[in-house]
A = this chain, B = another copy of it.
Amino acid sequence: MNSTDIRLDITKIPKSRIDAVDFENLQFGKQHADHMMYCDFIDGEWQTPKIVPYGPMQFEPSAKVFHYGQAVFEGMKAFKDEEDKVWLFRPEQNFQRINKSSKRMAIPEFPESHFFASLEALLKLDKDWVRKGGGNSLYIRPFVIATESGVSASESDRYRFMIITCPAQAYYSKPIKVIFAQDYSRAADGGVGFAKAAGNYGAQFYPTKLAKEKGLDQIIWTDASSHEYLEEAGTMNIFFRVGDKLFTAPTNDRILDGVTRKSIIQLAKDKNVEVVVDKVSVKQIVEAAKSGELKEIFGTGTAAAIVRVEGFEHDDVYYDLPDIEEPYGTFFKKNLQDIQYNRVEDTHGWTRQVI
């Protein structure tokens, strides 16, 4: 990693909290490893990154992040192989994307050297929090927040870039039921849907709550103008298997350019599975469900890896998906995780060893 010349201020925790953690019963995102990183943007410059024990911090109540949602984030994972080596999966993708998100939210971009030097140092300090074994990982949450004090509605002149981490087991372990959005929308053309902007997520909680009240788990968002095309699921991109082909929407300014999404497209090509990256119409999928040609729907994302959809609701009709043998979802999840946990050769050069 390109991190040799970066100064970091490191304050270690006096005694690790790791012994108090029950790694068999983790609730996603609730436990934090011993340390965190923060780096302030002041007077037009990113300052020296600091690594300190994880804990609460002081903020002004008038800090702009609280009022104007000027904030972006990323999700990454560190994996430990059987030889106790620790690996990141395509971390340059997350680094590039957080800066893309930042740009759209008028946040200054973060230097690559700062990012990788501090992430590497953080993982080295907290390497025991990365656990071996299928489904285990250390979830990494880089984020940037606007910290200038003052309630005028304009971009902040101060920011804090942070990295916190959480030990994680498999996320969304059960298959999920989804609904195709017909009333609510996630993103506008010309909006911030392609960015991991904080407000994109909070805006989905209420419609998702309504879906949950109907016994469904997640929403597959459609285009805001017509609700005729299936886009993404808010925390996941979505793939549809019709016959033996996979279909997924192209990325655009409403859809997140998911790292897992693009990796699955590549893995499918490697295995000679045809992937059609084109608009996916609700009509096409409903008809395929009725005719029995719709074999699978699955979601892809860093937190979730691959999640099987067991059925969907549209126009008040619920469609069960068949329980097929050798689903693509299971196959590609294993394929992906074999690479992430360094169990097979990484022919694409996707993984980066940290320790």
Residues of A that sit less than 8 Å from B by CB = 27-30, 32, 36, 38, 54, 56-62, 64-71, 73, 103-106, 139, 141, 143, 145-146, 149-155, 162, 164, 166, 181, 183-192, 197-206, 208-209, 224-225, 234-235, 303
Given contacts A64-B202, A67-B71, A155-B206, 10 further A-B contacts (CB under 8 A): A56-B61, A62-B164, A65-B66, A68-B198, A68-B202, A69-B201, A71-B202, A104-B203, A185-B189, A187-B191
Knowing A29-B62, A69-B69, A164-B62 are in contact, say whether A190-B183 is a contact too (CB < 8 A): yes
Among A70, A104, A191, chain B packs the most CB atoms within 10 A around the CB of A191
Residues of B within 8 A of A183 (CB): 190
Bound complex: CA A58 to CA B61 (Å): 10
The 5 A-B residue pairs whose C-beta atoms are closest, nearest first, are A199-B199, A69-B198, A69-B199, A188-B188, A185-B190
Residues of B within 8 A of A198 (CB): 65-69, 198-199, 202
Nearest CB of chain B from residue A340's CB, rounded to whole Å: 20
Bound complex: CA A202 to CA B224 (Å): 20
A61 near B205: Cβ-Cβ < 8 Å: no
A203 near B199: Cβ-Cβ < 8 Å: yes
A189 near B58: Cβ-Cβ < 8 Å: no
Nearest CB of chain B from residue A37's CB, rounded to whole Å: 10
Nearest CB of chain B from residue A217's CB, rounded to whole Å: 11
Q: How many copies does the complex hold?
A: 2
A185 near B191: Cβ-Cβ < 8 Å: yes
Residues of B within 8 A of A62 (CB): 29, 32, 141, 164, 166
Residues of B within 8 A of A145 (CB): 66
20 A-B pairs in the complex with CB atoms less than 8 angstroms apart:
A28-B150, A57-B58, A57-B61, A61-B164, A62-B164, A65-B65, A65-B66, A65-B198, A69-B200, A105-B202, A105-B206, A106-B205, A141-B151, A146-B202, A151-B166, A181-B190, A186-B188, A198-B198, A199-B202, A224-B224
Nearest CB of chain B from residue A65's CB, rounded to whole Å: 6
Bound complex: CA A73 to CA B158 (Å): 21
Q: Among B103, B139, B152, B208, point to the contact of A29 (Cβ < 8 A).
A: B152
B70 near A205: Cβ-Cβ < 8 Å: yes
Bound complex: CA A343 to CA B36 (Å): 56
Bound complex: CA A191 to CA B197 (Å): 15
Knowing A224-B189, A225-B189 are in contact, say whether A201-B105 is a contact too (CB < 8 A): no
Nearest CB of chain B from residue A306's CB, rounded to whole Å: 17
The closest CB in chain B to the CB of A162 belongs to: B61
The closest CB in chain B to the CB of A154 belongs to: B205
Q: Among B56, B59, B149, point to the contact of A30 (Cβ < 8 A).
A: B149
The closest CB in chain B to the CB of A67 belongs to: B73
